[in-house]
Structure 1
Amino acid sequence: MRYEGKVYRPWPEADSILIQTTLGCSNNQCTFCNMFSDKRFKIRELEDIFSDIEQARKIHAHVESIFLIDGNVMAVRTEFLLAILNKITETFPEIQNIALYAGFNDFRRKTVAELKQMRAAGLTMAYAGLESGDPIVLDNIKKAMKPEHAIEGMAMAKEAGIKVLASFIFGLGGRHRSKEHIKATTDILNIMQPEEIAPMAIAIQPGTELEQQVVRGEFVMPSPLQVLEEEKYLLENLADFDCYYWGDHGNNISPMRGMLPQARVPFKDRIEHEIATNPVTKQDIIQTFSW
């Protein structure tokens, strides 16, 4: 197995085999992220990807889950992705799940027919960064996406039968746009209704543009209390659609996960308990760790 540069995968994919399909991220300008600052976006040679798939077969007797890395693999042309998916299902007939990173705009750049082809070829899940539903926050972080783009991309994925995990960041609006950020994010999630969501508390990554904004005082970090209040608002105002809540990121003040809406009340009660009793709420700025 060959990997170039830093390798990332979502925490729900801890047990998956990783197959590097692209290098880096085609956007690679988000102010809060430096995951792929060490490489330019590039699509690996198909024969090299096939070789890694074959090598994985030699190493692992039974594989049920594979995750395609690096960044937005969905940006690759459809025929190329179909070849990889077909190679995986031929090599691992026991495979149950194939997932990848995607941008909501990547869905929009395909047709629904193409997305359905990928689903038929074995693609089950896409991890897409929503980050925020607030257009001002999205502009500030240079996401190169508008809220309506996320809504459109999600609808196309749903029509194709591809499940989506939408990730977003508590505190990304900073101290002064916390309420607008979480309200807009909750509103857009209620429209999109992804099958899974993964909220995580803001963390300043060393060397990012956001770090410099913090140093210059242009971005003021939220307090732990604001982050908890954002999560409370989200849990109180999400519509009653079936959704798995991956709220157990290591930076979250009260990590928890489970099925919504069934777990809404105990989750909300837990956040309210944290707000009332956790000493961290007395701190002025949330302390989190880089990824």
Structure 2
Amino acid sequence: MRYEGKIYRPWPEANSVLIQVTLGCSINTCTFCTMFDDKRFKIRDIEDVFADIEQMRRVYTHVESLFLTDGNVLAARTDYLLQVLEKIRETFPECKHIALYGGMNDFRRKSVDELKELKEAGLSLVYSGLESGDSVVLEKIKKRMTQEHVIEGMARAKEAGIPVLLSFIFGLGGRERSKEHIEETTRLLNMVKPEQIAPMALAVQPGSELEREVERGEFVLPTQLQILEEEKYLLENLDVDMFYWGDHGNNIVPQRGYLPDSQEFMLKRINAAIENNPMAKDNVIQTFAW
């Protein structure tokens, strides 16, 4: 396949075939992220995407799950995306799942009717980075998104019937704003009710603006205990039927399952880690670059 630059996909899409539809991220200012710092945002020529889909058909005899990269593919024009989805359906009639990255502002820029068309054309899940529900943290990380944007974007997704997985980062408020970060994130999740969430522990990426803030002492990393306490607060206060992808490799207690069914069990594991896991006593967060 003719992939350009670094390629990322969410860990729940480990078994999905990847098709590159856009290059980079149209925002690309988030202080914690270096995923797409090697390229400018661009929507690929439709004929190139079609050629890759056809090549994929020659390589794979059976494909049930596809993930469209790069960052916020949903930013592309609706008519363009409909052509891509139609080509996928024609080429892979057995495909049951098509997912992509999309920002809350990408949802806001499309009408509900446009989003419904995408849903009917086969779009089955959108991954969106919430990162934090705290307005102060969102401004500090240069997300270019507000609480109000999240509420409006999720409302459009709900009306169109497009399931959304919101990802966010334990510890993104740092040592000083851990409480506000997790409280506001939990409050916002209870308000917008995503179908799935994927929390992950903060990992400082080499070369990121956040790394430079840490080196200058402007951002003080949270402790391991704060990371665990943030997850404890989340599980104690979430009131949404959803799937919980808490098994990112950086999480101290990897776990996943449906909520609320698994909520009590997950909370017990977090409490046990707070009491017994030696990592909980460390004053320095231990995570690894993506």
**Counterpart-to-counterpart distance in 2, 1:281 and 1:229:** 10
Q: CA deviation at 1:155?
A: 1.1
1:201 equivalent to 2:185? Answer: no
**C-alpha distance after superposition, 1:169-209 (max 9, x if no partner):** 00000000000000000000001110000000000000000
**Counterpart-to-counterpart distance in 2, 1:213 and 1:166:** 26
1:244 equivalent to 2:250? Answer: no
Q: CA deviation at 1:151?
A: 1.1
1:36 maps to amino acid: F
Q: CA deviation at 1:282?
A: 1.4
Partner of residue 69, structure 1: 69
Q: CA deviation at 1:216?
A: 0.4
Partner of residue 56, structure 2: 56
**Counterpart-to-counterpart distance in 2, 1:222 and 1:242:** 29
**C-alpha distance after superposition, 1:201-253 (max 9, x if no partner):** 000000000000000000000000000000000000001x2100000000000
Determine helix, strand or coil for the equivalent of 2:284: coil
1:19 maps to amino acid: I
**Counterpart-to-counterpart distance in 2, 1:203 and 1:71:** 19
Q: CA deviation at 1:158?
A: 1.1
**Counterpart-to-counterpart distance in 1, 2:265 and 2:123:** 33
Determine helix, strand or coil for the equivalent of 1:246: strand
Q: How many residue pairs end up in the alignment?
A: 290
**Counterpart-to-counterpart distance in 2, 1:246 and 1:155:** 22
Partner of residue 104, structure 1: 104
Q: CA deviation at 1:281?
A: 1.4
Q: CA deviation at 1:148?
A: 1.0
**C-alpha distance after superposition, 1:227-286 (max 9, x if no partner):** 0000000000001x2100000000000000000000010000000000000111111111
2:246 maps to amino acid: G
**Counterpart-to-counterpart distance in 2, 1:32 and 1:130:** 13
Partner of residue 276, structure 2: 277
1:287 maps to amino acid: Q
Determine helix, strand or coil for the equivalent of 2:197: strand
Determine helix, strand or coil for the equivalent of 2:251: coil
**C-alpha distance after superposition, 1:36-76 (max 9, x if no partner):** 00000011110000000001111111111110000000000
Determine helix, strand or coil for the equivalent of 2:212: helix
**Counterpart-to-counterpart distance in 2, 1:138 and 1:7:** 25
Partner of residue 85, structure 2: 85
Matched-pair identity in %? 66
Q: CA deviation at 1:287?
A: 1.0
**Counterpart-to-counterpart distance in 1, 2:18 and 2:217:** 39
TM-score w.r.t. length of structure 1: 0.99
1:176 equivalent to 2:176? Answer: yes
Superposition RMSD on alpha carbons, in Å? Answer: 0.5
**Counterpart-to-counterpart distance in 2, 1:45 and 1:195:** 32
Query: What stretches of structure 2 of length at least 5 have no aligned partner?
Result: none
**Counterpart-to-counterpart distance in 2, 1:146 and 1:223:** 26
Alignment of 1:127-138 (within 5 A): 127-138=127-138
Determine helix, strand or coil for the equivalent of 2:100: strand
Runs of 4+ in 1 over 6 A off after TM superposition: none
1:260 equivalent to 2:242? Answer: no
2:88 maps to amino acid: I
**Counterpart-to-counterpart distance in 2, 1:129 and 1:242:** 19
1:37 maps to amino acid: D
Determine helix, strand or coil for the equivalent of 1:127: strand
1:196 maps to amino acid: Q
**Counterpart-to-counterpart distance in 1, 2:152 and 2:63:** 33
Q: CA deviation at 1:163?
A: 0.6
Determine helix, strand or coil for the equivalent of 2:129: strand
Q: CA deviation at 1:2?
A: 1.1
**Counterpart-to-counterpart distance in 2, 1:91 and 1:191:** 39
Determine helix, strand or coil for the equivalent of 2:36: coil
**C-alpha distance after superposition, 1:133-173 (max 9, x if no partner):** 00000000000000110111011111111110000000000
